[in-house]
Amino acid sequence: MSLINKVPYDLLRPILEFLQGFRPGHLAQCCLVNHEFRHVATRLLYQNLRIVHWEADWRSKVYLVFATLSQHPELAAFVERIGEYILWTRDGTISDEILHILRRQQLKDLEINANPKGYFTPSTLLGFKNLERLTLIMPDSQIIRLLPRWCSFTGHSLRTLSIICKSDSLITDELLREMANHLVSLKGIFLTNCSNFTHEAITFVLQHCAGIEALSLEGVSQRFNWLHFATEVNKHGLFRSLKRLTMTCPPGFSVWGQQKIEKLLHDAPLEEFNLYSNTEPRANTQQESDPCLSVAMALISCHARSLQALGILRIPVDDYTLEVICQGLPRLRKLFFTRIYSADIWTNPQLYSLSSLRRLEYFHISTIGSSVASPVLPTNEIILSLVAECSPNLRQCGFGTKVWSVIREFTRLPNGQWARSVSLGPYDKMEVPEHFLVVRG
């Protein structure tokens, strides 16, 4: 305890901030150390509140949280973000009463199931006027109709807009054009399963932004012409600030080749790129190129020095392409990719190409093409053999539906030398593993 008391107060916050992504019980224990720890840890504990539906008696916990905030304004003042993580099929998890309490907190970040179904009044949302980040999960038509008006209230501050649709017909060109006039501060837009708008509307939105830095378009319309979009992007310099791009494979993507991919990406200071397919892969014809190899070569040509994260999901990456990626993109910190399942998939020596990525912090390998519902995962021995060859910065790895933390320990031997051991631990962070946020099933 005497050593803890000697920790300078100015260093407590940066030290305890490392615990924010983990389970809140860790910070709660820090509140019991002494007055200084309690002062810092309490602020961090209430800064980002997350309410998840799978916890026991979760509904009563929701009301307990808001009761605490209403009764203790000194705690409510610390809240910057309340995220309600629920199953998309579960409605009725938020009410007018809860929304009115939230409005009083002057939140900057709101993430909710936006399907009222009589549980809350859609116009209540218009009271959130200074949001910086807004995520709407499965909004219904009432909420969508309010969006242009809502954007007129909060567009001056809104930096990130995410919409995950259940009905693919709600987000139209007309709606996006009407919203665009107010989204002057927007830096990131994420649209999932919204397949009723075209490239023309997105081009219009990007032209009204101060400089888009993150763009995710998943499950877009067949009418979305990516080649015309690339032409407009280059013509108006719309990707000059873009750091993150997630896109669904366009129709005919396998015949694009490296040159057309470069046309879309070459202006961007790209740090993260995710490519996702929502259809089952098929064998390439002689006229088609390997889309993964074309993507890899285009990224190496344009972004080898800047790219830090790459995801290729539900599109199989073969041995040669994996080696090209690992040799040509040395700055990767995160790599998510897909392999065709086979009996020897986890013992394939080509996986050791990952050892070339000396900055790698997290990798995840998914599989497709298995004839069984639950493909066999690698043993701990196989995982540790691969992890031991990877970057010393590796902190997390995943295979299929499982994610592990990588734990490194150093012990002093009797002869005075140090020995290093590597083991696997459970994933104990509150957030959903990033790989599963990229994949939209």
Cβ atoms 302, 338 nearer than 8 A: no
Q: Which of 73-77, 135-139, 392-396 has the lowest mean pLDDT?
A: 73-77
| Strands, E assignment, 43-88 | 48-52, 81-85
Q: Which residue has the tokens 């790698």?
A: 360
Beta carbons within 8 Å of 274's beta carbon, 6+ residues apart: 216, 245, 246, 247, 309, 310, 311, 312, 313, 336, 438
Say which residue, 61 or 280, is predicted with more confidence.
Answer: 61
pLDDT given at position 327: 96
For residue 341, give Cα distances in angstroms to 19, 50, 353, 412. Answer: 36, 36, 18, 41
**What pLDDT, in 10s, does the model give residues 72-93?**
878 877 776 655 433 333 455 5
d(CA 66, CA 60): 10
d(CA 404, CA 42): 29
Quick one: tokens of 224?
């979305």
d(CA 288, CA 215): 27
Cβ atoms 197, 168 nearer than 8 A: no
Neighbours of 408 (CB within 10 A): 12
d(CA 256, CA 362): 30
Q: Which amino acid is at 136?
A: L
pTM score of the predicted model: 0.80
% of residues, the chain, pLDDT over 90? 47
pLDDT given at position 424: 92
- Give me the DSSP letters along 224-267: --HHHHHHHHHHHTTTTT--EEEEEPPTTGGGTHHHHHHHHHTT
d(CA 203, CA 302): 22
Q: Cα Rg for the chain, rounded, in angstroms?
A: 24
Cβ atoms 307, 271 nearer than 8 A: yes
Mean pLDDT of 240-247: 96
Quick one: tokens of 397?
């790895």
Distance of CA 180 to the CA centre of its chain: 24
Quick one: tokens of 425?
């631990």
Q: Which residues pair with 218 in a beta bridge?
A: 192
Beta carbons within 8 Å of 325's beta carbon, 6+ residues apart: 296, 310, 317, 332, 335, 337, 353
In this prediction, residue 24 has a pLDDT band, given cuts at 50, 70 and 90, of confident
For residue 142, give the H/E element and its range.
helix 141-154
Cβ atoms 398, 435 nearer than 8 A: yes
pLDDT, averaged across the chain:
84
Instruction: State the helix-helix crossing angle for 141-154 and 173-180, rounded to 10 degrees.
Output: 20
Q: Which of 67-81, 238-252, 309-323 has the lowest mean pLDDT?
A: 67-81
Q: Which amino acid is at 212?
A: I
d(CA 242, CA 144): 26
**What pLDDT, in 10s, does the model give residues 212-235?**
999 999 988 888 999 999 999 999
Cβ atoms 426, 23 nearer than 8 A: no
Q: Which residue has the tokens 């397949």?
A: 195
d(CA 420, CA 289): 44
Q: Which residues pair with 397 in a beta bridge?
A: 363, 404
pLDDT given at position 212: 95
d(CA 19, CA 15): 8
